[in-house]
Amino acid sequence: MLMELSQKNILITGGNSGIGLSLVKQLSALGNSLIVVSRSQKNWSDFSRYRPAVVTMQCDISKEHDVLSLMEKLKSANIALDILINSAAVQYTCRLTDEDFSFTDIGTEVNTNFTSIVRLCSLLLDGLLSRPHSAIVNLSSGLAFYPKTSSAVYCATKAALHSFSQSLRYQLADTSVQVTEVILPLVSTPMTEGRVGGKMSPDAAAKAIIDGMKKECNEIYVGKAGFLPVMMRLSPGFVKWMLKKY
């Protein structure tokens, strides 16, 4: 059964840049109503052309107080969500051996990439369960399976998100909520600025995600990440060796 991906109320975190921004543009073009949640107001003026289909709400999802305030705003606006897309993420490249290693940065990374997602899923779940055809979509990474050297904590949060997405899918198996995990390759976003290599465009990544959502896929392997299942079976050691350099 295919999901009719139009006339839906969709909340997306981190929707003001990168893949999130591309998702907002493409999903609004399909006739959906979008709530864009971001900790900054960057690019918000760009959304004026999409109003009233796109509404912006400022919220630092790494902070519990901000998230609870967001819930009150949604309740006051009487918005019934059909889809939650957890797109926001931060990545730091500090190593534990660095002199300027910061627990504050690590806390922000863990809270943004993992804890906030669990919190949002929990707080919004009752509403999603009340809808006839709803979904939770978590944007993860191939680094959840094969971590790289330079971003140990980021990779660990994506591994945690992968495990959480699986368990949540089991818990909601007999409900109206589809739980989808998106495994992304290297995509050209503000997070990956300065890195070399064959980056996928955010528009192409967003299109692949939407196509997978329509098919109600449990896991969507985007672009080069599609080779991961095969590589994990045939040559897992090679992938480990390759990412150890980064």
- Residue 157 in any domain: the answer is yes
- Residue 66 in any domain: the answer is yes
- Residue 34 in any domain: the answer is yes
Would the pLDDT of 156 be above 70? yes
CA distances from residue 203 to 24, 37, 187, 217, 223 in whole angstroms, order as listed: 10, 19, 10, 19, 12
- Residue 3 in any domain: the answer is no
Mean pLDDT of 111-122: 97
Give kind and range of the element (H or E) at residue 213. Answer: helix 202-214
Would the pLDDT of 193 be above 70? no
What CATH number does residue 109 fall under?
3.40.50.720
Amino acid 43: pLDDT: 72
pTM of the model: 0.91
State how far the Cα of 29 lies from the Cα of 85, in Å rounded to an integer: 17
Would the pLDDT of 243 be above 80? no
| Residues with a known catalytic role | 154
- Residue 2 in any domain: the answer is no
Mean pLDDT of 57-81: 94
Q: How many CB atoms lie within 10 A of CB 41?
A: 10
Average pLDDT, the chain: 90
- Residue 4 in any domain: the answer is no
Quote the number of domains for the chain: 1
- Residue 47 in any domain: the answer is yes
Query: Whole domain around residue 52: which residue ranges?
Result: 9-244
CA distances from residue 74 to 78, 98, 227 in whole angstroms, order as listed: 6, 42, 39
